[in-house]
Structure 1
Amino acid sequence: MQDFKDITDYKLNLKERIPDVAMQLFTQRGILAVRMDDVAQEMGISKRTIYELYDKKEDLLFVVAVKHFKQRMDRMEQAVSHCTNVMEVLLEVYHMKVADFKKTNPLFFTEMVRYPQVKQFLDEQNELMRDHSLAFIQRGVEEGYFRSDLNYEMAVLQFDAMGEYVMEKELYRQFSIEEIFRNLVFVSLRGLCTDKGIKAIDEMLFD
């Protein structure tokens, strides 16, 4: 007879692996297109088994969203660890976001907000990211790249609104992610810069 501990360890191992498989499917196909059955089939387990570990799809999606966010933050921290100023950080983050967007179905981002538990988590993280953005801008002011005479709380909200507009209007279907960054993000960012910052951004875009 199989030891109960072995069964428990097996289930715990599954509970750890399922979000990784689900994340791969969600980011490839979008969230609504993936059923719990699809995740179970991809793993070679029964639908009953997956529901024993996750009561509903939103519970699994929440774990995926948290894990996906943490992985992105870890990659970003690693990518910018060697940067010496805010402009180098901006360039690294730009490359990372472009690469992430190209390998992720945009529906993954737009459909997450349909799930209340996940949306609450994302809203909380966005609030924290606004604080990080303000601290980052203050660093840029101190380094002489950003102007010191602007309302940056308003500017951060404007960038948030811009991102929401891009996703809501699905501009990524008409334009490449590079075009969106160049024509919206960097043009807007350029308006926040000192002469030193403008020169650095132009070098980033046109070198």
Structure 2
Amino acid sequence: MSTYRLGLKGKILETAMKMFAKNGIKAVRMDDIAHALNISKRTMYELYENKEVLLFEGIKTYTLRREEEMAHFAKDNKNVMDVILNVYKAKVEEFRFTSPQFYDDLEKYPKVMAFLEQNRNENRAQLTEFLRKGTCEGYFREDINHDLVTLLFDSIGQLFLQKRWYALFSIESVLNNIMFISLRGICTNKGIEVLDKFLKSQA
């Protein structure tokens, strides 16, 4: 593939994901994306055969990029609390610029859902190790069951999506009233001090 077509493929992906996030996936046609970029439908379909392929590539690219950013951030920071709070800020920004309809529409694409499920399973294992590290650093209590806490946090995230709370409450409200309360419960005084300082700075 030529350099031009590779660049165009990336532009299509970026434009499509922005349109999906703003309007929902179902509302955006392949024609709409082609029109936004002033390219022909034929060119669109030569690079992405259908909307699910385009969406899958967009989700995969975004997920891998986010993981690389988090890994880089974790490497440059001294403790797990900094990483948690950075993830929180990233999540808030993600949901702030994404229509609730986007999350509703995702369920109609089985290949995408299968990828997200696989990614979620991998993230659970990483979170368990992360909790163990936080305990060693003195931010989390030593009496917690790391595997169980991982499942609890994962269940809260799934419930948030399944019950469509994103359509009823802001992501800040959900995280502050559910995730942060749960997180506070497993923190030591050292962890609570960092958490409270962050929450005050966000008020």
Structure 1 residue 80: deviation in Å?
Answer: 4.2
Cα contact 2:144–2:186 (8 A) shared by 1? yes
Percent of pairs with identical residues: 42
Structure 1 residue 42: deviation in Å?
Answer: 1.0
Structure 1 residue 10: deviation in Å?
Answer: 4.5
Cα contact 1:76–1:96 (8 A) shared by 2? no
Structure 1 portions without partners, runs of 5+: none
Report how many residues are paired: 201
Which secondary structure does the structure 1 equivalent of 2:57 belong to? helix
Q: Normalized against structure 1, the TM-score is what?
A: 0.86
Cα contact 1:80–1:93 (8 A) shared by 2? no
Indicate yes or no: 2:188 matched with 1:198: no
Within 5 Å, which residues of 2 pair with 1:137-148? 137-148=131-142
Structure 1 residue 37: deviation in Å?
Answer: 0.9
Per the alignment, residue 169 of structure 1 pairs with 163
Q: Normalized against structure 2, the TM-score is what?
A: 0.88
Larger deviation, residues 124-133 vs 49-58? 49-58
Amino acid at match of 1:86: V
C-alpha change, 1:84 and 1:11, in structure 2 (3 Å) is closer
Per the alignment, residue 31 of structure 2 pairs with 37
Structure 1 residue 68: deviation in Å?
Answer: 1.2
**Whole-Å separation in 1 of the counterparts to 2:12 and 2:196:** 44
Within 5 Å, which residues of 2 pair with 1:1-207? 10-207=4-201
Amino acid at match of 1:53: L
Amino acid at match of 2:171: I
**Whole-Å separation in 2 of the counterparts to 1:156 and 1:114:** 27
String of CA shifts for 1:94-144, please: whole Å, max 9, x gaps.
112112221222333343232111111111111111111111101001011
**Whole-Å separation in 1 of the counterparts to 2:86 and 2:10:** 30
Which secondary structure does the structure 1 equivalent of 2:26 belong to? coil
Larger deviation, residues 129-138 vs 156-165? 156-165
Which secondary structure does the structure 1 equivalent of 2:173 belong to? helix
**Whole-Å separation in 1 of the counterparts to 2:167 and 2:180:** 20
RMSD: 2.1
